[in-house]
Structure 1
Amino acid sequence: MLSSLVAAFISGEAVGAARRARRAVLIYTFAAITILTGLGFLVGAAYAAAARRFGTIEAASSFGIVFIVIGFVAVGIHSLSGRTRKREAAGRRGADLATIASVAAVSLLPALLRAPSLLKGKAGLAGIIGPALAILAYGIYRENVKPEDEKPID
């Protein structure tokens, strides 16, 4: 009975959230269309004023050049920000991998310590010390390696 009440509450909330989201999408779409239409008329008015003052060919070529430059600037900014996002994502992946490895090692340690047969003799001890030393060596290596953007260019 309680689960059906919770499900009804959740589904009612989901329907309400979907209605609000649909209404917001419609309003924002309408606003975007009207704003873009207004910007189009402003560009048209600016072109008409420039054509009256400088001539049709000069105004058209000036507007064309300005829009081409704006497009190239936008692509350049996107390219630069994309490189930054890729670098940040790579850093996050490395940090996430280190976190996962440390959590796996810490969570596996009690199981290894509870199994005394694994720790008997040199082979069992090497089975624990070897990977621990490898992780330590990798950590030292990563700490001493320069990041990709600091490496000298050949």
Structure 2
Amino acid sequence: MENGVKTQHLVDLFWKKFLVETGREESTKYIEVFHFELTEKLANELLQLVLIGQKKATASSLLAYEIEGTRVPEVGDLSIVTDWEGNPKCVIQTTAVTIIPFKDITYEICKREGEDDTLESWQKGHERFYKAEGNALGYEFTDDMPVVFEDFEVVYQV
């Protein structure tokens, strides 16, 4: 079975199990299936932070949504988070969305991501990520770049 087909099959089975076990309507849809970060090590580390309840938010470039033609998350959205290999591990539900310039993000905001002990380390790591993503997608990171800060809660995990 080709890897993409195998992953989609796993996602479909996972989603059906989620719907049954949480008593949701069969017509309930998820917005996206994704893993965090751009490397296997960080993707799996951040997934673990989500699964233990430490990571409760994520920050994305608004420019990436625009370039990829995808909509910005909305409160109530459901998404499936996978490990690096594409194995579904949990369902998150968006609880709040704030669009704010990178330079205006405070430690009070970014600490909800559960990744960093200081604002400076958050800024350094996210600047690195946005520069790498920007190189791949065709946008340039600036301090004024709008960031989509999405709060979420885990509503299901295996």
For Structure 1 versus Structure 2, the TM-score category normalised by the shorter chain is: under 0.3
More contact order relative to length (CA 8 Å, sep ≥ 6): 2
More helix per residue: 1
The TM-score normalised by the length of structure 2 is: 0.19
The TM-score normalised by the length of structure 1 is: 0.19
Structure ID, larger Rg = 1
